[in-house]
A and B are shown apart, each in its own frame.
Chain A
Amino acid sequence: MNDKTTTKLSLVCSLVGLVAIYAVAAAARPKITPIASLNDSFLGLRVSISGQVMDYREHEEGHLFLKLQDSSGRVVNVPLFSLVRAQIDESIELLDVVEVTGEVAIYQGEFEVIPGGAKDVKVVHTAPVALTTITKENAGTAVKVQGTITAREIVGGGNIILTLQENGGKLPVFIPSWIVEDGLPEMHVGDTLRVDGWVQLYKGELELKLTSASHLHVVEDA
C-alpha cells in the first residue's frame, strides 16, 4: 500500500470515526439523573442532578456544602468550592431547587457531585410559604417563611425568639444561643425577614428552629 492510498484511507476512517464519536457524545449528553440511581459505576462521570436544598453548611474559607434531595428521596452532597461559589450571582437558600452538572465522586463514603463552574449550577428560588398554612402536621419538615419582626426577646442561656407576623399569621422563630454567639445579621423589630428552618413543637406550640445564621435574610429594613 503506497502513501497516497494510506493517506486517503486514514483520512476517511478518521473523519468517519470522528462523526461516530460525536454522535456517541451527543447521545451521552447528561440528562437529569435520579439521585437514587448514583452508584460506583458513575464515579468519574459527569451527571446532571436536580433537587431541593435540604440543608447547607458554610465553610469559613467560603465553600458552601449543599445537601440536595430529589423525588427519589435520596440525598447527595454538592460542594460549591469558594472559586465556583464566588461566580454564582444568586444566593442559595433552603428548599431552593438547584440543578447541578458535575463529576461524581465519593468523599468520606458519601456520593457527591462536584460542579466545575458557575454555569454548572442553576438555582430556582422557591417562594416562602404563608405563615397561616403552617400546621402541626408540618413538624419535622423544613420550610421557608417571610414576615415582619413584631417582637424580639432573649430567653434562658442567650437564645433569641423572634416573632414573625404576616397576613394575620404568626410564628415564633427560635435562634439557639450558639448561633447568636457566632453572629447574626443586624435586625430590628419592624424589619421584614425571610427565614429557612425546621418546624418543631415546643410545649405543644409551633415554632421554627434556625440551624445556621446564614438561613436568615433581612429583606427590608424598617
Chain B
Amino acid sequence: MLDVLAYALAGVVLGVVTGLIPGLHVNNLTPILVTLAAGASSGMVALIVAMSITNVFINYIPSTFLGAPDEGTELSVLPAHRLLLAGRGYQAIRLSAIGCLSGLMISAALILPFMAVITPAYDLIRSHMHWLLTIIAAVMILLERSWRGIIWATSVFLMSGLLGLLTLSANFIPADTALMPLLSGLFGISVLLPSIVSCGSPPEQHLDDEPIDLRSSIKPVCAGTAAGTFTGIVPSIGPSQGTVMAQLVTRSSSTEEFLVAVSSVNVSKALFSFISIFAIGRARSGAAIAVEKILDVSSVEPLLIIGVALFARGIAAILHLQIGKLAAKNMDRFSYRTLCILVLIFMLALTFYYSGLVGILVLTTASALGMLPAATNIKRTHSMGVIMLPCILYFAEAKDGVLEALGL
C-alpha cells in the first residue's frame, strides 16, 4: 500500500511539472511510463492517475497567467484572462480549485450508480454517436446567434476539422504525436501570439482572499460534473463544449461560474476517462489508454483509481493555490512579453523534437486557425472541430470515403 502512495506522490510531482510547462502534456510521458510499468503495475496506474488529476489543477496556472491580451479586448478573451486583466488572476486560481475539488468529490460519489447505467446507455448511443456529435457541434455553432458569427463558426469548425482529418489520418506524423502540434497551435500559440505582438502586460494582481459565494458555485459544479461525465464517455467533446452545455442548462453566464464549471468538467472528465475502461471497455484519454495497456497484463480495481484520484486531489489543490499565489505575486518581476516568447520557443522546440519540420507546418497552420475565433469574436471552442469532425466521420463510417474522395 505504501508503495502505491509513493507512486501516487511521484505522479503528483509529474503532474505539477507537466501542468506548469505549456505544451508539455501528460500524454508525452505516458508511453515511457507504460514501458516502465512491468513489475509495478498498480503503482504505475496510481502514478498515471495522480499525474492526470494534478495536471488538471496545475494547468490553470499557465493558462491564467500566460497569453493574456491587451486590456480593451475583453470580449474575445478567455474567462481566466478576463479576471487577470482585472488584477484578479489569483481569484481565477481559487475558483478553478473550488471547481476541481468539488467536481472530483461528486464524480467519485457518482461512479457506482454510473457503472450500473452506462454500459446499456453507451450501447444505445454508440450506433448514433455521429448524430450526437453533429447535434452538439450544430448547437455550439447556432449559439453564436448572429449570421456573421454562425458563418465564421462554421468555417472555423470545418477548417479545423479538415486540418484534423489530414493530420490524424494521413501518414506523415505518427498518430500518437499528431495531436500535440494541433492542440498547441489551436489553443496555445494562438493565445500567446497576440500578447507577444501587443507588448502589453497584465496589471498588478491582488492577492487578498476575496470571499467566494459557495452557494452560487453549487449549480455550476453539479452541471459541470454532469457534463464532465458525459464528455468523459463521448469521444472528442472538449471541456469548453461541456461547460457551454452546462451553462445552457443552468442559464449562468458569469465569468466566475464559468471557471468553476469548466474546472469541474475538466476534472470529472479526467476521472471518468479512466472509469470508462471498466464501464464500456474504452479508454477516453491518452493517460487512460496507458492505464488500459497496463491493465491488459494485470488486474487493478476501479476503487484504486478513485482512491488515488481523491488522494492526489487534496495535495494538488494545496500546491495549486500556493504556486498560483506565487505566480500572481511575482508576475511583475519578469518581462511578460519575454516570458510568452520563451514559452513560444519551447512549444516550437517540443513540436520539432516530436514531429519534425512537418509538425512545425501543422503547428503554424493550427496557430493561424486558432487566432480566427478571437479576431472574429466567436467562441474558441469551434476549433474542437479538429477532433470532432474526424470522429463524426469515423462513427458515420464515412472517413475512408472522404479520404478517398480527397485522393488520399
Contact = CB atoms under 8 A, between A and B. Distances in A.
Interface of A: 1, 3, 6-7, 9-11, 13-18, 20-22, 24-30, 43-47, 103, 117, 119
A17 B174 contact: no
B217 to A, nearest CB: 34
Contacts of B159: 14-15, 18
Given A3-B376, A14-B159, A14-B372, A26 B361 contact: no
A173 B368 CA distance: 68
B135 interface: no
B362 A14 contact: no
A43 B177 CA distance: 12
A14 B176 contact: no
B376 A7 contact: yes
B376 to A, nearest CB: 6
Contacts of B362: 17, 21
Nearest to A8: B375
B358 A44 contact: no
Nearest to B358: A24
Given A13-B368, A17-B361, A21-B163, A3 B375 contact: yes
A45 B168 CA distance: 10
A13 B171 CA distance: 23
Given A14-B365, A25-B408, A43 B174 contact: yes
Given A10-B371, A44-B175, A44-B176, A24 B364 contact: no
A1 B369 contact: no
Nearest to B401: A119
Interface in B331-360: 358
Contacts of B166: 18, 21-22, 25
Interface string B28-72: 000000000000000000000000000000000000000000000
B365 A24 contact: no
Secondary structure call for the A interface? helix
Nearest to B160: A14
B185 to A, nearest CB: 9
B74 interface: no
Interface in B250-303: none
B365 A13 contact: yes
Interface string B106-131: 00000000000000000000000000
Given A3-B375, A6-B371, A46-B171, A20 B361 contact: yes
A30 B403 CA distance: 13
Contact of B407 (A20, A21, A26): A26
A136 to B, nearest CB: 46
A44 B361 CA distance: 20
Given A14-B372, A21-B163, A22-B166, 9 more contacts: A7-B372, A14-B369, A17-B366, A18-B162, A25-B170, A26-B407, A28-B171, A45-B171, A119-B400
The winner among A1, A14, A18, A26 for most chain B CB atoms within 10 A is: A14
Contacts of B174: 43-45
Interface string B375-398: 111000000000000000000000
Contacts of B236: none
B2 interface: no
Contacts of B171: 25, 28-30, 45-47
A8 to B, nearest CB: 9
B133 to A, nearest CB: 20
A21 B363 CA distance: 11
Nearest to A2: B375
B214 interface: no
A20 B365 contact: yes
Contact of A10 (B175, B197, B369): B369
B190 to A, nearest CB: 8
A25 B358 CA distance: 10
B205 interface: no
Contacts of B176: 44
Nearest to B376: A7
Nearest to B194: A6
B406 interface: yes
Nearest to A30: B171
Given A28-B170, A44-B174, A22 B368 contact: no
B240 interface: no
The winner among B197, B366, B371 for most chain A CB atoms within 10 A is: B371
Contacts of A13: 364-365, 368
Nearest to B185: A17
The winner among A25, A44, A103, A119 for most chain B CB atoms within 10 A is: A25
Nearest to A46: B171
Contact of B172 (A25, A43, A117): A25
A21 B369 contact: no
B167 interface: yes
B123 to A, nearest CB: 16
Contacts of B175: 44, 103
A1 B32 CA distance: 43
Contacts of A46: 171
